Structure 1
Amino acid sequence: MFSWFGYFMPFSERIAAIADAGFDGVMLSWEDEEAPNFISRYDFPKLVRDAGLSITNFHAPFIGYSQIWERSLEENRELLDFLVRILKDAADFDVSAVVVHTVDMELGDYTFENGYAFFTELAEAGERYGVDVAVENVTRQFLLYELLDRIQTPHFGYCYDTSHDYMLGCGSGRLIAAYPDRLKALHFSDNDKTVDRHWIPGEGFLPLTSILQTLDRMDWHTLSCEVIAPFWWQERTPQDFCVAVQQGLKKLLRNLGE
C-alpha cells in the first residue's frame, strides 16, 4: 500500500496502520515530509522495515515532468541528475524500482526527441544501478507507448495505474495487453469512471476482476494499492481505512477464485 493515503498524521503512524491492517509491503513517496512534523526521506526505509514491512518501490516527486519534452536534454540536466540520484538511493536501500511520470497535467509545445534522450539516459542509469525505471501511465499515454517501443533495456518499463488507465480514452486495459512483459510496478485502485479518485478497490466501477485475471496471466502477483481516503472517510480512523482496503482486496481475490 502507498505510504500516503489521505490522512495528515506522522509517517510512523501511517506505516503502523498499514502494517496492522495486514499488508506486507509499502510504496514510498521519495521526498521529505514537512507536516505534521519533519522527517527526512532517508529515515523512511528503517522505519518501514522496523514495522515488519518490505519496500516495493520509491515514487519520485510527481511535478516538473512536462519540461522533459519541452526543453532540451542539457536544459533538463538538473532534473535528470535528480532522478538518477533517486535510482542510486533505491539501489543503496535495496529497493527494486523507482516510479516516475511522463508529463504533468499540462504539456506545452514539445519535441519527442527531447523526452526520448532524457529517458534513454535515465534507463541507462537504471541498468547501471540495477533498479527498474517504471514510467507511470498518466496523460499523453502515446508518449509512454513510444518510449517502450524505442527503449528496450531490461530495467526500463512502466507502472500501471488502474484509475489513470480508465480515465483515458486510449486506456481501458490496452497498455498491459500490449506490453505484458514490461510491467515494473502497479498502482491498484478504483474510481467512478468520472474522476481519477483512487478509491478502495471494489467501491467504484472499474473492471478490477478482469484486470486481476490479466495480471494473473502475466504472472504478476504484487498487488499494491495507491488509494486516497475520500472526504467521507475522514471522520473514521486511518486504521479503519487501511483495514477496508485489505478487505476490498480479499473480496476481489475471493471472487477471482470462484
Structure 2
Amino acid sequence: MGQGIYHYFGYDLSFEERTEEISKAGFESTMLWWGDEDFIPLSKAEQVECVRRAGLKVENVHAPYAHIWKLWAKDLQIAAEAQQEYCRYIDECKAYQIPMMVVHGMSQEPIEDEQQGFESFSLLLAHAKAAGVTLAVENTIEDSRFDHLLEQLIPEGMKWCYDSSHDWIYSESPTRLLSTYGKALACLHLSDNDGQFDRHWLPGKGLVSFEQIQELLKNQGFDGQWSLEVFPQEVIGSANAFLSEARERLTWVMEGARHEAKV
C-alpha cells in the first residue's frame, strides 16, 4: 500500500513543476488525465516520462468521460466509434506500460440501450485483458445498471474504481458498493464534500465518513494505492503546503479516521 494523488491538484504550475511538487511531498504515485486536449503542452509520452523521471509511478490514467454515453448508444455506429476511441486509450496504456485505465461506467446522459452498453464494456474489457491492462470502471451516479455491469463483468476480470465523493453525493446508501463489490476494487479516488456538490475537498472537511470507508477497505483486504483526487476551492498558500496537508489527511484516513481531522 502506498500513497498517491491525482496529478492536477490546483495551483498555476507547469506539468513539470506539478510533478516535482508531488514527488517532494512524499507521494509515491500519481494518476494522469488521458484526454487528447492541448491544454497540457507535453505529449502523453512526455508526461509519462516526466512522472517516472521524478521517481513516481503512474498508478493509472483517467480516460475522458464526455463520450461515455456513446458506449450505451442505440446507434451501432456511434457505439462502435466510442469503442474504438477507448480501445485506443487502452493501446496507449500498453505502449507506455501503464498498468490501469479508469473509465466512468455511467454518464449524466440517458442510457439508450442497456444491452449495447454491456456489450461495449465487454469489448473494452477483452481488449484490455489482451493488452495486459487493468480496466476499472468508476462509480458515478446511482443506477442499478452499474451494479448489473459489475455483476456481469467482474467474473470476466473487470475491476472498479471507488470515488468517495460520488458515493456520498449520488448513493442512497453510501458504502453499499464497497460492501458488495469490495473484492473487485482496484483503485481509489478519495475526497470529501458537503453532500451537495463534487467539491474535491481534502478528507475531514466535509460529510464523507472516512472511518467507514477505511474499515470496509481493511475488511475487504484492499492492498492497492490510497489515492486522493483533490484540489482546493480557493487557492491559499503554496502548493507545497497544500500537498503536505493532503498527505497528512490521507495518512489520517489510512489509520482509521477515528479522531477529528485537523481542518
TM-score of the superposed pair, with normalisation by structure 2: 0.89
Q: Give the equivalent residue in structure 1 for 2:29.
A: 25
> 1:27 and 1:213 mapped to 2: Cα distance?
24
> 2:105 and 2:256 mapped to 1: Cα distance?
34
Q: Give the equivalent residue in structure 2 for 1:214.
A: 216
Q: Give the equivalent residue in structure 1 for 2:174.
A: 172
- SS of the equivalent of 1:167 reads helix
Structure 1 stretches of 4+ moved >6 Å: none
What pairs with 1:31-50 in structure 2 (closer than 5 Å)? 31-32=35-36, 34-35=38-39, 38-50=41-53
CA contact (8 A) 2:59 2:99 kept: yes
Q: Give the equivalent residue in structure 2 for 1:3.
A: 7
> 1:212 and 1:109 mapped to 2: Cα distance?
33
CA contact (8 A) 2:21 2:240 kept: yes
CA contact (8 A) 1:32 1:38 kept: no
CA contact (8 A) 1:141 1:170 kept: no
Q: Give the equivalent residue in structure 2 for 1:246.
A: 247
CA contact (8 A) 2:105 2:146 kept: yes
CA contact (8 A) 1:137 1:160 kept: yes
- SS of the equivalent of 1:133 reads strand
- SS of the equivalent of 2:6 reads coil
Alpha-carbon deviation of 1:256?
5.2
Alpha-carbon deviation of 1:208?
0.4
Listed as ranges, the gaps of 5+ residues in structure 2 are none
> 2:202 and 2:227 mapped to 1: Cα distance?
12
Pair 1:49–1:171, CA change in 2 (3 A): farther
CA contact (8 A) 2:188 2:228 kept: yes
Q: Would you say how many aligned residue pairs link Structure 1 and Structure 2?
A: 254
Q: Give the equivalent residue in structure 1 for 2:85.
A: 82
CA contact (8 A) 1:131 1:155 kept: no
CA contact (8 A) 2:210 2:256 kept: no
Pair 1:6–1:120, CA change in 2 (3 A): same
CA contact (8 A) 2:165 2:200 kept: yes
CA contact (8 A) 1:158 1:182 kept: yes
What amino acid is aligned across from residue 57 of structure 2 in structure 1?
S
What amino acid is aligned across from residue 100 of structure 2 in structure 1?
A
Pair 1:108–1:154, CA change in 2 (3 A): closer
Alpha-carbon deviation of 1:151?
1.8
1:13 aligns with 2:21: no
- SS of the equivalent of 2:90 reads helix
TM-score of the superposed pair, with normalisation by structure 1: 0.91
What amino acid is aligned across from residue 31 of structure 1 in structure 2?
G
Alpha-carbon deviation of 1:189?
1.1
Pair 1:66–1:171, CA change in 2 (3 A): farther
Q: Give the equivalent residue in structure 2 for 1:190.
A: 192
Q: C-alpha root-mean-square deviation of aligned residues, in Å?
A: 1.9
Q: Which of 41, 51, 56 pairs up with 2:54?
A: 51
Alpha-carbon deviation of 1:132?
1.3
Pair 1:89–1:153, CA change in 2 (3 A): farther
> 1:8 and 1:78 mapped to 2: Cα distance?
35
Alpha-carbon deviation of 1:149?
1.2
CA contact (8 A) 1:123 1:153 kept: no
Q: Which of 223, 227, 246 pairs up with 2:226?
A: 223
Q: Give the equivalent residue in structure 2 for 1:117.
A: 119
Alpha-carbon deviation of 1:32?
4.6
- SS of the equivalent of 1:220 reads coil
